[in-house]
Amino acid sequence: MNLESLIQLFQDNQATKRKVAIWPILQIFQDNGGVKDYGLGDDSGYLRNGDHYLLLTNDAIREELLEKPGYAGFCAVTVAVNDIYATGGIPLALVNCIHVPEGDDNWAQEVAQGIREGCRFHGILVLGGHVDYLSKSRGLSVSLIGRASKLMTTYGASPGDALLFVYDPEGDWDEEMLIWDSTSQRDEERIGDNYGLLLEIAEGELATACRDVSNAGLLGTLAMLVEASGVGAWVDLTRITKPEGVSVEQWLFCYPSFGFLFTVKPEKMKGLKELFRLQGLETCCFGEVREEKELTFIWGDEEICVDNPLSISQK
């Protein structure tokens, strides 16, 4: 695998291409309160409420994962929980929407059981939802509300900030779904402690920006973050660590159930990495934010500069 092949995978990645559709939609809503003021396009939307912020996120589960209904329900909760923590908040309660074709009652019940288990695991409430019975196809989405004292947003990255990827090295690899599952089979207290670090980082203002790594993978998530901040990035792919048994091309485009991308001032990097190390989490500093909006990738002696496929200016 050479750099040109990796860049081609990045540009052709279907999960990244799905993110492209976000920007025209965001532009429609920009004058309805603005983007940065309320987190439109961020991991969670936010609204100031006295001395704190209310957070709200919404996520839908991709079609292929719905073939594993219980797991899909659990993952739906986890994805939304990650969004809230990535914005510096504590998840509180959710509602869900399940689309159920005729005769798929057992499937829907398994999804609901997965949601219930996910909520128990993460310590959040189910407040209700909607069942779209006799729909033409299966579907699942959840909306989760949270609360934050201080925000971490995707808009704060600036030139000179370092790129830091954090993930849990203990997990199970689902090659079919491209998921590094370091959550569902783990002790909930340990996972809760992992998430607690995100709150500590937000409160201490230790990062300038944050996104949870979505199903667009690390590179797709990076593209979203730097585009939102109006910057670019220099990336050394050889610095990105990965679990054993997972190839580089799989790892760069998979969904880690506990994976976060931060931009960090260099002087705060050592302390932040130590915070994660003490919790047994893996970190890698793999590049820096640049003023030019292009993405520059390094792989050994190779270097390729490309336009950000998620750039609004390219649409």
Q: How high is the pLDDT of residue 315?
A: 45
Residues in the chain, how many? 315
Hey, what amino acid is at 177?
A: M
Nearest one of 245, 252, 250, 247 to 284, comparing CA atoms: 252
Predicted local distance difference test score (pLDDT) of residue 31: 67
**pLDDT for 29:** 78
pLDDT of residue 34: 53
Q: What is this structure's pTM?
A: 0.95
Q: What share of the chain is helix, strand, coil (3-state, %, to 5)?
A: 40, 30, 35
Q: Which residues pair with 139 in a beta bridge?
A: 99
Topology of the domain comprising 3-18+153-314: Phosphoribosyl-aminoimidazole Synthetase; Chain A, domain 2 (3.90.650)
Q: Where do we find the tokens 């398994």? A: 110
d(CA 85, CA 199): 7
pLDDT at 303: 97
Residues of the chain with CATH 3.90.650.10: 3-18+153-314
> 43-148, what's its fold?
60s Ribosomal Protein L30; Chain: A; (3.30.1330)
- CA atoms within 13 Å, Cβ hemisphere of 281: 28
Q: For the chain, where are the alpha helices, taking DSSP H only?
A: 3-12, 14-20, 22-29, 69-86, 105-122, 188-204, 217-229, 248-251, 266-278
Q: Which residue spans of the chain are classified as CATH 3.30.1330.10? A: 43-148
Which residue stretches of the chain have pLDDT < 70? 31-36, 312-315
